[in-house]
Amino acid sequence: MEVTVDQDLCIACGDCIEICPEVFAWNEEGLSQAMVNPVPAQVEEECRQAVESCPTEAIKEKTH
Ligand code: SF4
């Protein structure tokens, strides 16, 4: 599983960082960014929750 945060859609609500801090963190622009890709298997469930919780659907799961 790989994820990216669409920087044009993120409204910096912080939900994804709260739900899955192993993957998401603030970048210099004050927006959320995925810091580890691929997502480690042990946090995939949290990461999926973060994807579903994002109010603007800014987190995209990369499909290969
Ligand atoms: S949940 Fe969505 S809008 Fe909120 S900080 Fe994360 S990517 Fe941005």
- Whether the Cβ atoms of residue 54 and residue 6 lie closer than 8 Å to each other: no
Query: What range defines the domain where residue 16 resides?
Result: 2-62
Write the pLDDT tens digit of every residue in 10-23.
999 999 999 999 99
Pocket of ligand 1 (CB under 6 A): 5, 10-16, 32, 54-56, 58-59
Q: Which ranges of the chain have pLDDT less than 70? A: 64
pTM of the model: 0.94
What percentage of the chain carries pLDDT values higher than 90? 95
Q: How many domains does the chain have?
A: 1
* pLDDT at residue 64, as a whole number: 64
Residue whose CA lies nearest to ligand 1 atom number 2: 54
Strand locations in the chain (E): 2-5, 24-26, 32-34, 59-62
Residue whose CA lies nearest to ligand 1 atom number 7: 10
The Cβ-side half-sphere exposure at 12, using a 13 Å CA radius, reads 6
* pLDDT at residue 62, as a whole number: 85
Strand partners, 4: 60
CATH number of the domain residue 45 falls in: 3.30.70.20
Q: How many CB atoms lie within 10 A of CB 54?
A: 22
* pLDDT at residue 37, as a whole number: 95
Residue whose CA lies nearest to ligand 1 atom number 4: 13
Residue 9 alpha carbon, nearest atom of ligand 1:
3
